[in-house]
Structure 1
Amino acid sequence: MAQVRITQVRSTIKRPKTQKLAIQSLGLGKINRSIVLDYNPSIAGVINKVQHLVTIEHI
């Protein structure tokens, strides 16, 4: 399965609670923190919800 590196680049201050929870579910929470995950439909949905707060790199 393909992997992606997700990096948080914007803050969750003044964001809806659902976006804050999405960032937490990805394992992020601080700016410039990165995580490598397997790309699957559930991760794609979470990324789509917070795409303006993160950058995605295919590995």
Structure 2
Amino acid sequence: MAQLKITLTHSAEHRLPKQRKIVKALGLGRINSTVVKPDNEATRGALFHIAHLVKVEQVK
């Protein structure tokens, strides 16, 4: 199964509380922090809400 490499490129400060909670739930703390998550519907749904804050790459 494919995985997604998610990098926080913009700060979550001064964003909607829902967006801040999603960033924290994904395990992203600071700008340029990176996590690898499975490519599933739950992850895609979370990324839909914070797409303007992150950069996503597909890894094998």
Fold shared by both chains (TM-score > 0.5): yes
- What amino acid is the match of 1:21? K
1:34 and 2:34 correspond = yes
Structure 1: 5+ residue stretches without partners: none
SS at structure 2 position matched to 1:24: helix
CA RMSD, aligned part only?
0.5
Q: Give the alignment's TM-score, normalised by structure 2.
A: 0.95
Among all aligned residue pairs of Structure 1 and Structure 2, give the percentage whose two residues are the same amino acid. Answer: 36
Following superposition, the deviation at residue 53 of structure 1 comes to: 0.3
Following superposition, the deviation at residue 13 of structure 1 comes to: 1.4
Q: Which runs of 4+ in 1 moved over 6 A?
A: none
Give the aligned length.
Answer: 59
Structure 2: 5+ residue stretches without partners: none
